[in-house]
Chains A and B, each alone.
Chain A
């Protein structure tokens, strides 16, 4: 019996140390590295004072330099599939409004958010990671400059300027009790085929209540949301 247990433990430990998945890059591929900041994980209240640490909803996509949307590279599952739990029908349009408007796909209910019935493709939909994330992209015709954009948002990320008790119609209304709090933040960088490395810059925040697709450059009222991300870099493999 003891020998059996010992063998089981040895084999399980061997199996646990499974090989690491490594992205293999070719010349011209673009590596996007998202480094998480201090506020990447945010407390989400469940019940009886119990909270869980949530990672943010986010989307990464590419556009041309004229601001035309080309393709989504990655989007978190809840946004991509209407995968919210106990949301009482709230589609959370304030989560990633800039990405939604840039993408411009209108669904049956008039919102720009993917639905359970029409989610985004599986390959670019994933769990919101608990730590840094790396994406490898290869663009078929990368001869002209392109813009990489990313939008991040926590729900219930309230502060003094975007409080929980703001009422619909107020300038700082972000979706109510289960809303966004601080609005989504947007990063962008233009990359060139002959470039090697670039960093996405914080260019502003999205609509507070998700009602438009603008980027607002005023960042003074944002507090913790500016620390969701430490850094996002792109490297073009030579």
Chain B
């Protein structure tokens, strides 16, 4: 739990301390396993950015979009064109499964690359895709007790490692 608190504090700190240009972005990202809202800050005079996101996931035992995740994606634009760019970032965060069988708060790390296409003359809107790899797993224990029997077992909660998401962004 101590690790979690420190991690959360650091995630927030890194975003708050970033100095922003005008073109920040709010985006909605969709994949088979997660639906996320993200806020991205672009750092002044550099291609570097950092975004924080929060979302819902469906990766635990009940397969419902009722898990919560949040994280940060520090990264940079590798190649910029007039109406598009190619970017890459690290991805780190925490996944909270939500079910009645186990408690397995799971930190994760990953790496993503993506392509963003701006829409319109003022580049206020954009569509982008991201793909990447993520690693996060956590062991958990289950216990059952009755008058005649005590049962305990362990198992592993593992995040699906491949990410592929589609997103819409509003730039301001």
Contact = CB atoms under 8 A, between A and B. Distances in A.
A127 B101 CA distance: 9
A164 interface: no
A226 B147 CA distance: 35
Main secondary structure of the interface of B (DSSP, over half): strand
B151 A124 contact: yes
B148 interface: yes
A217 interface: no
Interface string B136-152: 11111111111111111
Interface in B5-26: 6-7, 10-11, 13-14, 17-18
A139 B148 contact: yes
A66 interface: no
A16 B136 contact: yes
A5 B74 contact: yes
Main secondary structure of the interface of A (DSSP, over half): mixed
B92 interface: yes
B61 interface: yes
A145 interface: no
Interface residues of B, number: 49
A7 interface: yes
Contacts of B108: 12, 16
A85 B153 CA distance: 25
A113 B102 CA distance: 23
B109 A16 contact: yes
18 contacts: A4-B13, A5-B90, A8-B72, A8-B74, A9-B90, A9-B109, A12-B109, A13-B109, A16-B109, A18-B139, A22-B154, A62-B149, A77-B61, A77-B101, A127-B61, A136-B152, A140-B150, A141-B148
Interface of B: 3-4, 6-7, 10-11, 13-14, 17-18, 43, 48, 50, 61-63, 72, 74, 90, 92, 100-102, 107-109, 135-156, 158
